[in-house]
Amino acid sequence: MAHSITGARFAHADGYTAVAFGRSGEFICTGGSDSLVRVFQASRAERDQEAITLEQHTDNVLSLAASQSKVVSGDEEGMVYSFDVGEGAGGRLAVDAAGTVLRAALPARDISISSSERQVAIATDDDKIAVVSLLDMAPLHMLEGHRGSVNSVSYSPDSAFLASTGCNGSVRVWDMRESEPACVSVTHKMAYVCEPGRSQSQSKARWSPDGRFVAVPCGDHAVRLLERGSWTVAAELGGKHAKMITHVAWSANSKYLASVGLDCQVVVWDVAARAAILSHTSAEPLCQVDWNPQANMLAFTDCAGALYVWDDVIPIEKGHAAPHKTAKPAPHAKPRAAELASELFDDSAAVDNGGDGEGGDGMDVDGSDAGGDGDGDDDGADDLGEALDDFVVDDDDGGYAERPAAPQWIPGGGPQTRAFQPGATPWSNGRRYMAFNMVGSVALIAQDATHNSVEIEFYDKSLYRDLHFSDTFKFALAALSDAGCLFATTTKELANDQALRSGPDADEPSVVSYRSFASWAANSDWIFKLPPKEHPRCIAASSHGAAVVTSLGMLRLLTCGGVQRHIESLPNRAVTCVARADLLLLVFEALGSARSTAGARAIEYEHVLMTMDGQTRIAAGACPVSPSAELVWAGFSEEGHPATYDSKGILRVLHRYWTARDAAWVPVLDTLRLSRERNRREYFWPVALSARQFIVAGCRDKMRHPPFPRPILDELDLDIPLLATDTHVGQQEAKCLAMRLFCEQEHAEAARTGGDHAAAQARDDLEQDKLLLRLIQLACKADKMQRAVDLAHMIKLERSLDAAVKIAVHQKLTALAERIMRIRDSRSAEDDSEADAGSELESEDEAAHVVAPDAHRPRRNRNRPPTVTYGRGPGSGAADDAGEGPDAESTSPPAPGGMVATAAAAAAAASGEDRLVSRPPRPPVAPKPFNPFGVAAPSTSMEIHRSDSFFNAADQIGSESSAAASPAPAKRLSSSGDAASAPRKQPKTGPARDRAQAKMSAFVFKKPSAPPAAASGDDDAANGSVNGDGANSDDDAVGA
């Protein structure tokens, strides 16, 4: 039977020898009385190579535990060290000392690592079990209860429970999910009663990898299986060992159990059949045994320091199932389900898991369930109902552990929507952040049963001094603003984090307290007790006051001084609330959003934006999140955008909320994409949105929350998920859009609060135009004219349009330059008409009796249909071009335009003079110093001249419309016959045209083909206004 056992490898000196497989099954580690820990390759080929020797210990190594990447070993002195196992050069194992886990006073007898590799439990000869964090080696708990020394500890695979045996034979089970682990079961006189102080005559209990049983070697040399949940003996495996059983080990699928004893026997049991199927007798009393989790392989050690490895233990060919898991159909399905379960049932998981992208990028949870083999439904309620025999049948490919572990929960039966505070974290190592934003952070530090301490740390040290006080109320919620900090207690059910450390009961009234930072007013702190049964769900504070949303659906609004300003009833589904200055953003879970068993949760949200005084509701509506994602953060940008961040890593801002109808959530950043692009597994924990950057705490190494002390924050540039942002153009477009978004917001906010923003607006406009000009240049280079025109339409400043013309000319795109000029002209026309509207109205009376046609002008300004004046869209422009090129046009206009102009020349000359006199406020028509064609090549300027002469002529006709507001362009089109393009010319108001033409005059009048008005010989004809009047009179003719 022992045919495949490799010969004794004397790994250590004579004495108790410990052995353990790494969870990956790649290595075996042993520790012995020569105070060494050795790490062997597990595979048969490499097993005989030299082992890695770790010489940290200075006394007999008594206990070992290995997980995926860690080895923890304890010695007789009580020193417990951890080692990191990784892959070194050439694919070989490399082991580094990671640190000292514990310095106990007494020998460390047994060690168990939780499946998440976060905690380690250590049994020493002391009567306490030490639980230490493997992340920072901080002691987490001391489990007290055993009388006399503890000789074994074992975590359940989901880390929810810990089993331990004492030397007096008692077996205890601890619930590790609580913040203060409690003993949930004690069975006295079950295990061996053994003498403390000698590992060789002690035994160890072990938890099965499927989480159902604890195998306890018992005094009658049998192994009993303690069932989870009921904590009673469910089965007994006995009759083989003659002497004390020192150690047991479960195969990875929990089908087999191996036990070794002082009778030198190794016995392998089929658990389901409750029978021994194999046994092997060795030469020396045996110490420890372990299964390779990934292979049909068993390792055991004896008291002479020898290591034996038994390959192909289970005779699979004889119909026995393999002891390890074979090809798994869906390796990811299980943890996912487990995670869901834990989210529902485990208090600690709500926020913790809320933040993780469930799919895609592989950022899996590091919660208690993800790493283990167990199926992770911690309460195991459904497991209990199953009889033992239930799993016997399952031998197809070995693993009832992978039985679809979908928890049986019902959509309606889930707990009430959980509320959360933005910037709060769950407890970790006795600390948590209650609030974290750009002002600073509020940290809660667990002290003892009666109080915690609160630490408020600011970012700007010149603003306030850091605060530190002792909190006897046990606050659970905090909201930090630059004026003060609001605290509230709440019940365990409402708090989203695990363990309000024995927080107030549901019967006890909750407390809301405000701590003001203002130093000038003494005693401005206040405190309120809420009525019984009303507990805060979420709270918010800003410089304008404080808001408390309670479990009775009340929204209580207070001032910073503690005046109760407003109360209002809300649907009791608030998820979070956050305030900035005078704005309060409330997010609710939408009605009808269901949690389904299918695993996909569809929570929908609604938002309400109101003022902090409760008087005005600014916006309300649906608050979208990514499919099957949850909201994990809400806040305001520095500019005042309400913003949300969901668990799929999308940051959104509520844009244009000031006009409720146009309010829309705009996605501005996709952090998952970002971390994909950076090719790093990072989680960005949101802090704030400021200065067009998303401020985050970057969390690596599977951490989901910022550590203590406060880390340095990272800034992520906003990156609107437009298309093709991998190209330069796409990036520029995204930048441009982001700029527009935030500028609009800034100006709207300034306008709303009555701030002065003219300077800022001018600056922002310029910045935006710069981006647009860059885009125009790119478009010009790529010869994308339409694109350039579209971009030109988006330009704000006239100056920038001039620059755009320059660019076009520089690129020798005359047609484009022309089109942009037209945009500019139409723009300036509009501006002028708006600016002059007032002055024209004043002069209206005068003008009306002096010149009849002119009287129409102001009226037209007032009720000018926007489509007419500003409607020279790219479409119509294209049509123009298609119809006739600039060259063709330049020759045609003189016919109708000239005729009209000459016909009205005399009247025009007279009335023009009058009008000029009658309107003193009109600035003298002076050409702007800027000449857009300063850089143009000579040949290009020739063309421009010609086309401008066309402009000029066409404008004469176009501006005729200034006299008549009523005639539609179509009508005029018909009346003016063959000059198809002319009537469609941008209608101009006089003053605007004056200016535009004056600007052009520099080159217009050099040409012989100048407008016929010039040919009339009148002095004033050189002035553009004459042409305008001429056009007016022509318009009259049309009207008649």
Partner 1 sequence: MATSEAQQEGFTMPELEYLAQCEDVTIVPLHRMERLELVRGAVGPFRPPQKTQVPLWLAVMLKRANRCRIVAPAWLGADHLRALCREEDAPDALFTRLPPHYLEIAHALLAVAEDDLADAQAVRRLLQDLRETRQTKTREGLKLLNSLQLQMDNLSAAEINEIRPLFGRSFDMLRRLDALAATAADRAHRGSQLGPADDSQYADDADDDDFAYAR
Residues making contact with partner 1 (CB under 8 A): 438, 459-463, 690-691, 693, 695, 712-713, 715
Nearer to partner 1, 463 or 724 (CB): 463
Token look-up 């039966």 returns 413
Question: Smallest gap, in angstroms, from Cβ of residue 468 to partner 1?
Answer: 17
* Contact criterion met (CB below 8 Å) for 220 and 383: no
Nearer to partner 1, 190 or 696 (CB): 696
Question: Smallest gap, in angstroms, from Cβ of residue 728 to partner 1?
Answer: 24
Token look-up 């909750």 returns 510
Please report, for residues 266, 424, 639, the alpha-carbon distance to residue 433 in angstroms, rounded to integers and kept in the order given.
Answer: 51, 5, 25
Nearer to partner 1, 273 or 691 (CB): 691
Question: How large is the C-alpha radius of gyration of the chain?
Answer: 41
* Contact criterion met (CB below 8 Å) for 488 and 510: yes
Nearest alpha-carbon partner for 717 in 684, 748, 758, 744: 684
Q: Distance between CA atoms of 42 and 1016, rounded to whole angstroms?
A: 106
Question: Smallest gap, in angstroms, from Cβ of residue 52 to partner 1?
Answer: 18
DSSP state of 268: E
Question: Smallest gap, in angstroms, from Cβ of residue 459 to partner 1?
Answer: 4
Nearer to partner 1, 691 or 841 (CB): 691
Question: Smallest gap, in angstroms, from Cβ of residue 668 to partner 1?
Answer: 18
Question: Smallest gap, in angstroms, from Cβ of residue 89 to partner 1?
Answer: 8
Contacts of 596 (CB under 8 A, 6+ apart): 411, 602
Please report, for residues 246, 631, 847, 1015, the alpha-carbon distance to residue 908 in angstroms, rounded to integers and kept in the order given.
Answer: 118, 69, 15, 14
Q: How many C-beta atoms lie closer than 10 Å to residue 375's C-beta?
A: 27
Of all helices (H) and strands (E), which one includes residue 1027? helix 1024-1039
Question: Smallest gap, in angstroms, from Cβ of residue 466 to partner 1?
Answer: 11
DSSP state of 745: H
Which strand ranges, in their side-by-side order, compose the sheet holding 128-133?
108-113, 119-124, 128-133, 139-144
Question: Smallest gap, in angstroms, from Cβ of residue 712 to partner 1?
Answer: 6
Question: Smallest gap, in angstroms, from Cβ of residue 637 to partner 1?
Answer: 14
Question: Smallest gap, in angstroms, from Cβ of residue 456 to partner 1?
Answer: 14
Nearer to partner 1, 569 or 679 (CB): 679
Q: Distance between CA atoms of 216 and 205, rounded to whole angstroms?
A: 5
Structure tokens at 974: 């018909």
Nearer to partner 1, 461 or 862 (CB): 461
Give the start-end residues of each E strand in 671-785: 683-690, 693-699, 714-717
Nearer to partner 1, 624 or 706 (CB): 706
Structure tokens at 645: 């961040």
Please report, for residues 314, 421, 570, 773, 789, the alpha-carbon distance to residue 574 in angstroms, rounded to integers and kept in the order given.
Answer: 57, 11, 8, 46, 47
Q: Compute φ and ψ for 874, nearest 5 degrees.
A: -60, -30
DSSP 940-975: HHHHHHHHHHHHHHHHHHHGGGGG-SSS-HHHHHHH
The residue count for the chain: 1040
Position 889, amino acid: E
Question: Smallest gap, in angstroms, from Cβ of residue 462 to partner 1?
Answer: 4
Nearer to partner 1, 190 or 674 (CB): 674
Token look-up 């010989």 returns 1017
Nearer to partner 1, 463 or 766 (CB): 463
Question: Smallest gap, in angstroms, from Cβ of residue 68 to partner 1?
Answer: 20
Of all helices (H) and strands (E), which one includes residue 886? helix 886-891
